[in-house]
Amino acid sequence: MESVNPATGERVETYDEHDDGDVEDALAAADDAFQDWREVPIREREKLLANAADVLRENKERYAKLITREMGKPIEQARAEVEKCAWGCEYYSEHASQHLGDEPRASPAGTEVFTSYEPLGTVLAVMPWNYPFWQVFRFAAPYLTAGNTGVLKHASNVPGCAKAIEEVFVEAGYPEDVFQTLLVGSGKVDDILADDRVKAATLTGSGPAGRAVAETAGRHLKKTVLELGGSDPVVVLDDADIDEHIETMAQARYQNTGQSCIAGKRFIVHSDVYDEFLDAFLDEVDGYSVGDPENPETDVGSMASEGLMEELHEQVRESVEAGATVERGGEPLDRAGAFYPPTVLTDVPKGSPADEQELFGPVASVFEVDSEAEAVEKANDTDFGLGASVWTEDRDRGERVARQIEAGCTYVNQLTKSDPRVPFGGIGISGYGRELASDGIREFVNRKTVWIE
């Protein structure tokens, strides 16, 4: 399994894949480890998770460079990702016992009734490359602290990150085999999920991958949580303060080189501020530094691979052929590496890729609407339903519009983000289930009713 730097095309490292025997050994070890791990008091599990936060911070520079070299993220954003993982660990180290404490229930006099939250066993995590540390810790921090064991099948282009995350838990003092990384291809996922020792699965990735996991899990009656991407609307109303928020709006699209499930992808702008918005947005784009992701001055790095860049460019090309106008960008950069410039499309025709598909890269689609009602209608004109944002100077109006948008999370005057303190997930073809906060940690537990007469 090769790790290739997408900014240079150079090989970073080669790793040995795990074979069927290695997979069998890992699942057996995870099952054995669970029997002891589930009995470890939650306060001790919380302490180990706090240790993991310390390990992350102590090694932040090394891990950030690894992220950047494997998938092209600008180095400052890679550092921020590692820091966010540490924050997520700290959140659950402080709040897991509260989220999983026995919950008293109404009952007749003389009885005691409560809900107990107990671990299920080994959880399989199938994770993507775009946030190669955060996506994993978003799974591992709550589910391990709940008493489950974890087996990670990471994206094949970030094997170094996968091994480094395993290292974090070892150095934090976790018992052997509580968390393991399997370097295997996607073809092995079905058999791993079907194994009786695997009790549940979580996947962040593409729609086809999610459907395959859901189908296998359904046949074996196993719980799953799926986060499958989005085409998030950014609704800019006629009273939005463009000057105040344009930097954040642009960041919502182009951070992580646009390779984010919750990136703002469809900018739906009221006609009264459309020209002002577009001019300001293009000015922001013109100011971005595109280049070497290891340079701290770089705003937009390389995409994660040549193949992904080619897929994105084909979507742009088809949209332009259908009638979209290229305001900025629109062609791969003439240089080594998978570099696609920050691109802005206007006059996007209905039904074109830039209108109805997820563009997983630095391409913004801008739409003009004549009213608040039309903005809401356009925002909901999608099969996706992950995140959304609304921009207005009227907080009450912002809340009203946010409630009308069909998405798992909607932010007013803020970009859509995942935060350990609030539930995260989508509806429609963006998936189901929730991660983070109390909702996330309770996804993979047995919510057991205990009635004592």
Residues annotated as catalytic are 227, 261
Q: Which segments of 287-413 does DSSP mark as H helices, in order?
A: 306-322, 353-356, 372-379, 395-404
State the Cα–Cα distance between residues 118 and 445, nearest whole angstrom: 5
End-to-end, the C-alpha distance of the chain in Å comes to: 57
- Write out the H or E segment, with its range, that includes residue 446: strand 445-452
* Beta-bridge partners for 411: 389
Looking at residue 77, its amino acid is: Q
Q: Map residue 14 onto helix, strand or coil.
A: strand
Q: Are 226 and 383 contacting, i.e. CB atoms less than 8 angstroms apart?
A: no
Non-local (6+) Cβ contacts of 269 within 8 A are: 236, 277, 278, 366, 367, 368, 369
- Write out the H or E segment, with its range, that includes residue 102: none
Q: Map residue 125 onto helix, strand or coil.
A: strand
Q: Are 339 and 361 contacting, i.e. CB atoms less than 8 angstroms apart?
A: no
Strands (E), 100-147: 103-104, 112-119, 122-126
Q: How many residues does this entry show for the chain?
A: 453
